[in-house]
Amino acid sequence: MNSIAPQKLIARPSPALRGSVSIPADKSISHRALMLAALAVGESRISGLLEAEDVLRTADAVRALGAELERVGPGVWHVAGRGIGGLVEPENVLDMGNSGTAARLLCGILASHPLFAVLTGDASLRRRPMRRVTEPLGRIGAQFLGREGGRLPLAIIGTGRALPLDYRLEVASAQVKSAILLAGLNARGLTVVEEPEPTRDHSENMLRYFGAEIVVEPKGKGRLITLRGQPELRGAEIAVPGDISSAAFPLVAALIVPGSEVEIPKVGLNPLRTGLLFTLAEMGAEIAIENERTMGGEKVGDLRVRAAPLRGVDVPAERAPSMIDEYPILAVAAAFAEGTTRMRGLQELRVKESDRLASTARMLAANGVAVEIAGNDLMVHGSGKPPPGGGLVATEMDHRIAMSALVLGLATKEPVAIDDSTFIETSFPRFVALMQSLGAKISRE
């Protein structure tokens, strides 16, 4: 529950941003590393773990389920797992804070263990739908009891005789896919998930890395993922790369602040997560990828970006799964582009920390940007010149709206303020200090 007083911040037009910055570790991979280490036999060593509130909630949860965790240094954790089927019933309610990823993936793990657990979260998380995971997980034999719409708090009665699923996702969702695969770990036989469009595959990569038997095949425009249940996962060494969703903020800031040049090393470049880079390149961005390599089964590289004039583009709906978290900051880039940028098929944004489709539009409109929503499409009409700015943005408990608004204010004609910055810590510790190190003018109002 959030009881911290709101902390207002203001971003002012800044001189050229310059320097090299290390971004936080990938949040999606950090969640999964902790969960799979808890299900493995033996000890895992995780380096570069994101020590932000969302991930620390996952650490608390797997500890409550019987795994032994020890922090041995900054970002370095040792996890002694319980093995698949070996989790214990938690003594208290599991509070997942603001993390929808943690809550939905844990639903999958808990569903196929014979125990009782209750999940809750902050006010934002309690508004988000869980039925998209509880409905398929109910088919394996688990029981779920929650508020209207399947929302948290959610009571879970797991089953010790989980049935394997053969399930086609209704919407492209890595969280739903991952929850089903995690449940399938403790089910006899084959769990099969068909996704209509490819979504981020961190779960598949990490399951394979820990020793699970998993096969991924193309099917139409999507993919078919098959997991053999009840493997013996083995403890592993995991190095977590930088989060491309976090890199997006200094990256776009460098594009829109004239004269800027910024380097961002060790960024995860999973091909199913790089839709933003592809879209910005279409818009005319100068982004170089250097020193490409592999870490823990994930592609990694160093990004170098220079300020450049941008043009409006049409972003197809099928690209959304590869950049779903980056649309608010893409919309900021679009505000500085020449012409209209249309981002199609953004219905998934409506069920994030806020209704991100609406809150992104409100953020831009409050600062003089011509913007409109047509169905599930967002259209930003840029003039190729800095927008007026001068607005106060209601962040609506959404860290990505808060950070996007601050980046916007670095290049508008007038400063941009946000009503609350406290939720930035859930995903990007020291965001303000990092941006200030590049020369960004961000301060308390």
| In a domain? residue 2 | no
Q: Count structural domains, the chain.
A: 2
Whether 1 shows a pLDDT value over 50: the answer reads no
Domain that holds residue 198: 27-239
Domain membership flag for residue 4: no
* Confidence tier at 78 by pLDDT (50, 70, 90): very high
Distance (Å, whole) CA 151 – CA 119: 10
Amino acid found at 207: L
CATH number (domain holding residue 296): 3.65.10.10
Which domain-ending residue is among 223, 239, 255? Answer: 239
C-alpha 102: how far from chain center: 10
Question: 5 versus 376: which is more confidently predicted?
Answer: 376
Q: Is the pLDDT of residue 57 over 50?
A: yes
115 shares its domain with 86:
yes
N-term to C-term CA, the chain = 25
CA distance 235 to 210: 7
Q: Are residues 219 and 315 in the same domain?
A: no
Q: Which residues are catalytic?
A: 325
- The answer to pTM > 0.75 is yes
| Cα 247 to Cα 27, 76, 244, 306, distances in angstroms | 12, 21, 5, 14
Are 179 and 167 contacting, i.e. CB atoms less than 8 angstroms apart? no
The answer on 333 and 219 residing in a single domain is no
Q: What is the pLDDT of residues 337-355, one digit of tens each?
A: 999 999 999 998 987 766 8
Q: What is the pLDDT of residues 164-209, one digit of tens each?
A: 999 999 888 899 999 999 999 999 999 999 999 999 999 999 999 9
- Sign, CA dihedral 348-351-356-358, equals positive
Residue-by-residue DSSP string for 76-113: EEEEE---TT-----SS-EE-TT-HHHHHHHHHHHHTS
Residues with Cβ within 8 Å of 384's Cβ and at least 6 positions away in sequence, in order, are 309, 310, 336, 337, 338, 339
218 burial via Cβ count (<10 Å: 0-12, 13-18, 19+):
exposed
The 314-315 sheet, strands edge to edge:
314-315, 338-343, 377-383, 370-374
Does the structure show a pLDDT above 90 at 295?
A: no
Q: How big is the CA angle at 246 (ends 242 and 250), to the nearest 5 degrees? A: 110
The answer to whether residues 95 and 120 touch, using CB atoms and an 8 Å cutoff, is yes
Residue where a domain terminates, one of 207, 239, 271: 239
